[in-house]
Amino acid sequence: MTLAERIENSKTSIFKAVFPNTTNHYDTLFGGTAMHLMDEVAFITATRFSRQIMVTVSSDRIDFKKPIPAGTIIELIGKVNHVGNTSLKVNVEIYIEQMYSEGRELAVHGDFTFVAIDENKKPVQVIK
């Protein structure tokens, strides 16, 4: 399998409904909840790419472009955008969809770096 095929096969997409228990006093998704969901999608993407133990080592930048209101549907999309020797980077985007109308818009995007480790927690090659 080529690197491009491996990247495409590891692309991860998850949908969630934004319920009031995940929102702040402005009725928008808590930023920390968005970051938690993004890290989870990034982890799944990194693991699907490498099929090894992967750990988050950094979130390089997370940009909040639009608030995410309660009562919307969000899609989180993770895609590997850089592969190193023992690490890789995953870009995650969150899109907002209204429940009862067409269209979607980018709300948040960010990059996460992961390292592949062995059973002794030592870095190993991302691609075996």
Instruction: For 44-66, write each residue's pLDDT tens digit.
Output: 999 999 999 999 999 989 999 99
Q: In the block, which residue shows the tokens 């495409």?
A: 8
Domain boundaries, the chain: 3-116
Vertex 101 angle, CA 107 and 44, to 5°: 45
Confidence at residue 128, expressed as pLDDT on a 0 to 100 scale = 83
Token pair of 81 as six digits: 């955008």
Instruction: For 67-120, write each residue's pLDDT tens digit.
Output: 999 999 999 999 999 999 999 999 999 999 999 999 999 999 999 999 999 999
Confidence at residue 6, expressed as pLDDT on a 0 to 100 scale = 97
Confidence at residue 10, expressed as pLDDT on a 0 to 100 scale = 98
Fold classification of 3-116 (topology level) = Thiol Ester Dehydrase; Chain A (3.10.129)
Confidence at residue 36, expressed as pLDDT on a 0 to 100 scale = 97
Angle of helix 31-50 relative to helix 3-10, nearest 10 degrees, comes to 140
**Do the Cβ atoms of 63 and 92 come closer than 8 Å?**
no
